[in-house]
Chains A and B, each alone.
Chain A
Amino acid sequence: DVKVTQSSRYLVKRTGEKVFLECVQDMDHENMFWYRQDPGLGLRLIYFSYDVKMKEKGDIPEGYSVSREKKERFSLILESASTNQTSMYLCASSVSIPSTDTQYFGPGTRLTVL
């Protein structure tokens, strides 16, 4: 079975802090994704990556950056956390292009920015 893990289930940070959210998948998937989920807004794509060192902006990349140095790991970085980035963050992976193939999700990280 595919396993996607996220470094923390719950995280509390202060405004202005640099925040790293880590995601690891164990099935050699090409594609990895970061979403945020908010009530009434559904899932919104922040960034995705087709391959190591490749990244593409999603629908809401502002205030975020990503890093993919190894195929299995995709990190989401909040350079200077703000309260409006309080949200549930979900990482996902899929086998290959097309990236519209089935996605496998991690358990999510609930981030609170105070």
Chain B
Amino acid sequence: SQQGEEDPQALSIQEGENATMNCSYKTSINNLQWYRQNSGRGLVHLILIRSNEREKHSGRLRVTLDTSKKSSSLLITASRAADTASYFCATDSGSRLTFGEGTQLTVNP
């Protein structure tokens, strides 16, 4: 089974609204990463949060990590149509990253 599982599978919002995506995982991690994928393209790294960090910001992105609940959330504030993409969390499981199935975010203009 996937180490990281995103929730919801799909999210549709209006431009300007905030988008929140969640990721749950099963085993202890060293870090958790979020990636973005535009349709038919490769993944692009967004942000990495280490297990000893609780929150991290990058521009309009805010990531939280709760290791006691084995969960993370990605918040995109003031969304834009260009944020439409799939978002994946990835957790390290020793020697490799394990990716979830992703959340498809649609931002309507």
**Chain A residues within 8 Å of B, Cβ to Cβ:** 4, 33, 35, 40-43, 45, 48, 56, 58, 88, 90, 92, 98-100, 102-108, 110
Q: Is the CB of A108 within 8 A of B42?
A: yes
Which of A40, A45, A98 is close to B30, meaning CB atoms less than 8 Å apart?
Answer: A98
Are B102 and A100 within 8 A (Cβ)?
no
Residues of B at the A interface (CB closer than 8 Å) are 2, 30-31, 33, 35, 40-45, 48, 88, 90, 92, 94-102
**Beyond A42-B2, A43-B88, A98-B30, is A90–B100 a contact (Cβ under 8 Å)?**
no
A90 x B43 contact (CB < 8 A): yes
User: What residues of chain A lie closer than 8 Å to B30, measured between beta carbons?
Assistant: 98, 100
Min CB distance A101 to B, Å, is: 8
Assess whether A48 is in contact with B99, with CB atoms less than 8 Å apart. no
In the complex, are the beta carbons of A110 and B40 less than 8 A apart?
yes
Q: Is the CB of B101 within 8 A of A100?
A: no
